[in-house]
Each structure stands twice: as C-alpha cells, then as structure tokens.
C-alpha cells in the first residue's frame, strides 16, 4: 500500500506524506482559483522587498547574526551608566548598614543581603535592555522571519521545525523553553528539544557574562557576550544532531507558520513588554537569590570555630577546596568553584556568591579580587562552563515534569556538566595560546 501511494504521487518513499498531502491540497486550491479568480497586476510592497533581503537563501543567516551581535552590543553599552548608578547606591547604603551595632547582623545585612542580592540588582539593567531589544525585534515582525531563516538550517541538521520556538524562548528563561517543548510533534523530537533547550543562554547567565567580559575584555565585551549566545545555539544544534544520530531516529519536519506584516514598534508597547518580562524575571529569581545569600553568607561567616572565623577556615572554603582540584587546570580558585555550586540554585548566584565571599574576606572590590585570581583565558572558560552546565533547579524540575522520567532528568544533568567541563577545558587551552 505504501509503495502504491508513493507510485501514485510519483515520489519515492522518503517523502513525508504530510508534505505530499499539503502539495495536493494547494494544487486543488490553485485549480479552483484559476476558474473563479482573475489576478490583477502584481505589485511589490515594502514588506515583499524587505523579505527578499531578510529571507534570502544566503543573506538571511548573516543578517540574523549581525542583528544578534548589534542587540548584545547595545545591551552591554546602554546599561553601563545604570549599572554604575545602582552600584553607587548600594555602596552608599552599605556604608550605613555596616554601622549596625550588632556585628553579625551588620555583616548579614551588608555582606549577605546588600552584597548578594543588591549586587545582583546591579545587573538588572542589561537584562531589561535585552528584553527591550527582543521586544523591538518581535514587534517589528523580524523574530518570525528569524524563525523562518533558522528553521531551514535546523531541519537540515535534524531538529524539528517547531523546536525553534522553544529554543527562542530559552533566551529569556530555560524553564519556559523546556515547558514550550510540549508543542513539538513526535516523542523523540520533543525529547530532543527538551534535552538541548537548556544549552541556549538564558537571561540569568547574562550577569555572569557582563561581569567577566567587562573585567577582562572591556573593549570587546559586547562581542564576547554575543559569542556566548552563538556558542549556546551551536552547541544545541550539534548535541541535537548527535542525539538524533545515536539516540532517536524520528524524522524531522519543516515549520509552517504565518509571517506577520512588518510594522514600526511603538515606544509604549516595547517599554511595556520590557518592563513586564524584566519584573517577572526579578520576581522568579528573587526567592533563589535571597536563599542563596543566606546560604553563602552563613557558610562564609561560620566554621568549626563558630562565627567570625577567617574565610579560609569557613565551611564554604572546606567545600570549595575539596572540589577545586577538579578545576585547577582551568585556573579556577575555590571561591569560583563555590560560586558554580551555588549557581545550581540560579545562575545569578554565581556572582552573588563571589560578591559575598570576597566581601567577608575584606577585599576592597570584587573586580580587583577576580582580576588578581584569574586570567583572561580562565575567565573565558568560566563563561563557557556557566553557559553549558545545568541552568538551575527550576529547569531540572521542568525537565522532570515534561519527560515524566527521573532517568532522562539525570541524563540531562550529567551530560550538561560533562559537556561544560570538556568545552571549558578546550576553550581554556585555546584561549591560553592567544590571551595568556
């Protein structure tokens, strides 16, 4: 029967039946239109002319990459002054809280809460500006075109066409990306999307990029951040290809979607979208950040000798020094290792942990402390590790819920940690050849 069907349509058996049926429907529609509709003189409009450029077979992808680079450069440059102002405010506020007469309470409020949560809020401007840029691209109608451009490549590489939407949501939040994977057709295609979605760089990782790129690559910070996002996309595609090659055999299918008309975005709508998404991000991250502040401050301020022990004798130092040998070849100190461990709560907790640890240690400035303990190559390796290892506990929970399996959840966590470790090692040694 299958052979007869293929022979009837004059196609081989490898053609997707759904595509054949769609073609036949459009042929019937075309025949009917020829009988009842007389087309007028065709006219080009601005939308058609723009699509000839943005959706071009060869120019579409380079244009997409240039737009993404411009977006991340804008995000970093536009947020600089606001980051400085917020940092000055919390430094001023910390000067008052440090005078609280109860030493442990003064340390908790100044180093734990203001040094942790307050320091994270310094990186709120880049997140808000990123959401503003995404809102503008979305309102103009370009993001739908970007989906169309990327779909062509994703299908060739084995990803399902509908996978682009969850992966696109991953730029905002990995939890949303994993949850949106339920719209992908086919169990194997859906599972592949779930497993690779966390590799897309979410907004929670952005503060880490901004901090380390700003310290070690100030002249090219926007480009370095852009590289991290592109690396996440590349790794998601490569890993998906490997999964489809060795784990799953289900066929991919193209994405069918309606492209909206181009339109000028309004300031009101773009700002409203930016505000809603930014506030939602801060609310979601707030619980984990406060919990992280309490954990890291307690572990940094207490040791076997009680409160006020030197940072080198604290509980977090014991944990960090125990695991640090595994990362010694990357140039990571035990403080960095502790930050990566707390990053499992939320990626912002990585720099939150460093801010608290170095504040308790008495370091004058976090940037000075980081620069004195790392090289540009190790900083680049750290950003790659943060990009590729497990996003957060919320994402782990979403994977468990969507797959309904602890086996696949454990597999996702394990392969991401191994992938991050291997890629960070490669980037460190290659970077060491050029950056020192």
The structure tokens listed for 124 are 């709120």
- pLDDT score of 121: 76
User: 315: exposed, middle or buried (C-beta count within 10 Å: 0-12, 13-18, 19+)?
Assistant: middle
pLDDT < 70 stretches in the chain: 1-20, 22, 38-45, 111-112, 115-120, 152, 154-162, 249-258, 284-289, 292, 359-365, 436
- pLDDT score of 254: 56
- pLDDT score of 12: 43
Asked whether 178 and 165 are in contact (CB, 8 A), the reply is: no
To the nearest 10 degrees (0 to 180), the angle between helices 406-435 and 221-246 is 140
- pLDDT score of 9: 37
- pLDDT score of 436: 60
User: 161: exposed, middle or buried (C-beta count within 10 Å: 0-12, 13-18, 19+)?
Assistant: buried
For the residues of 261-305, what is the DSSP string, one character each?
PP-PPPHHHHHHHHHHHHHHHHHHHHHHHHHHHHHHHHHHHEETT
321 forms beta bridges with none
List the domain boundaries for the chain: 2-42, 54-435
Nearest to 68 by CA among 217, 215, 232, 277: 232
Question: Residue 179 — φ and ψ, nearest 5°?
Answer: -65, -40
SS3 state at 172:
coil
Could you tell me which residues come within 8 angstroms of residue 48 by beta carbon, excluding any fewer than 6 positions away?
none
SS3 state at 40:
coil
DSSP element (H, E) containing 131: helix 124-140
The structure tokens listed for 29 are 């529609």
Nearest to 269 by CA among 152, 138, 371: 138
Asked whether 220 and 373 are in contact (CB, 8 A), the reply is: no
- CA dihedral (132, 137, 139, 143) positive or negative: negative
CB atoms within 10 A of CB 116: 29
Asked whether 236 and 114 are in contact (CB, 8 A), the reply is: no
Question: Residue 344 — φ and ψ, nearest 5°?
Answer: -70, -25
- pLDDT score of 114: 73
The structure tokens listed for 204 are 């929670």
- pLDDT score of 414: 94
- pLDDT score of 68: 83
Question: Residue 307 — φ and ψ, nearest 5°?
Answer: -80, 145
User: CA dist 155 to 13, 152, 310, Å?
Assistant: 19, 6, 56
CB atoms within 10 A of CB 31: 9
Antiparallel, parallel or unpaired: β 302-303 and 306-307: antiparallel
DSSP element (H, E) containing 150: helix 142-156
- pLDDT score of 7: 40
- Residue listed under structure tokens 């039946």: 17
Question: The whole model's pTM is what?
Answer: 0.76
SS3 state at 314:
strand
Nearest to 348 by CA among 292, 424, 390, 399: 292
DSSP element (H, E) containing 306: strand 306-307
CB atoms within 10 A of CB 259: 13
- pLDDT score of 1: 41
């Amino acid at each position: 029967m299958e052979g007869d069907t293929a022979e009837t349509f004059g196609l081989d058996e490898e053609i997707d039946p759904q595509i054949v049926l769609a073609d036949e429907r459009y042929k019937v529609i075309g025949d009917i239109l020829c009988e009842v509709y007389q087309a007028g003189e065709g006219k080009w409009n601005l939308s058609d002319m723009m699509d000839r450029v943005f959706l071009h077979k060869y120019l579409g992808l380079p244009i997409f990459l240039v737009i993404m680079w411009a977006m991340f450069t804008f995000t970093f440059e536009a947020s600089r002054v606001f980051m400085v102002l917020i940092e000055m405010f919390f430094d001023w506020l910390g000067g008052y809280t440090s005078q609280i007469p109860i030493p442990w309470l003064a340390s908790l409020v100044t180093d734990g809460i203001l040094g942790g949560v307050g320091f994270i809020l310094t990186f709120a401007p880049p997140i808000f500006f990123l959401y503003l840029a995404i809102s503008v691209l979305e309102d103009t109608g370009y993001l739908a075109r970007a989906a169309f451009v990327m779909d062509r490549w994703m299908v060739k590489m084995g990803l399902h066409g509908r996978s682009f939407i969850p992966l696109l949501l991953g730029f905002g939040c990995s939890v949303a990306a994993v949850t949106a994977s339920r719209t992908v057709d086919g169990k194997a295609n859906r599972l592949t999307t779930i497993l690779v979605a966390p590799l897309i760089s979410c907004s929670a990782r952005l503060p880490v990029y901004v901090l380390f790129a700003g310290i070690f690559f100030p002249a090219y910070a926007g480009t370095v951040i852009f590289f991290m996002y592109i690396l996440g996309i590349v790794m998601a595609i490569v890993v998906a290809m490997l999964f489809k090659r060795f784990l799953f055999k289900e066929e991919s299918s193209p994405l069918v979607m309606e492209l909206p008309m181009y339109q000028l975005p309004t300031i009101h709508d773009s700002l409203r979208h930016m505000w809603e998404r930014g506030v939602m991000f801060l609310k979601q991250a707030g619980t984990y950040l406060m919990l992280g502040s309490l954990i890291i401050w307690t572990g940094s301020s207490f040791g076997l000798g009680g409160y006020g022990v030197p940072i080198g004798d604290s509980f977090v130092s014991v944990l960090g020094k125990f695991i640090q040998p595994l990362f010694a070849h990357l140039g990571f100190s035990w403080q960095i290792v502790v930050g990566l461990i707390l990053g499992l709560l939320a990626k912002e907790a990585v720099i939150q942990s460093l801010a608290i640890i170095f504040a308790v240690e008495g370091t004058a400035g976090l940037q000075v402390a980081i620069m004195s303990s790392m090289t540009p190559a190790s900083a680049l390796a750290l950003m790659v590790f943060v990009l590729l290892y497990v996003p957060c506990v919320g994402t782990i929970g979403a994977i468990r819920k969507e797959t309904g399996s602890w086996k696949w959840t454990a597999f996702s966590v394990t392969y991401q940690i191994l992938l991050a470790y291997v890629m960070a090692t490669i980037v460190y040694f290659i970077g060491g050849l050029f950056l020192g």
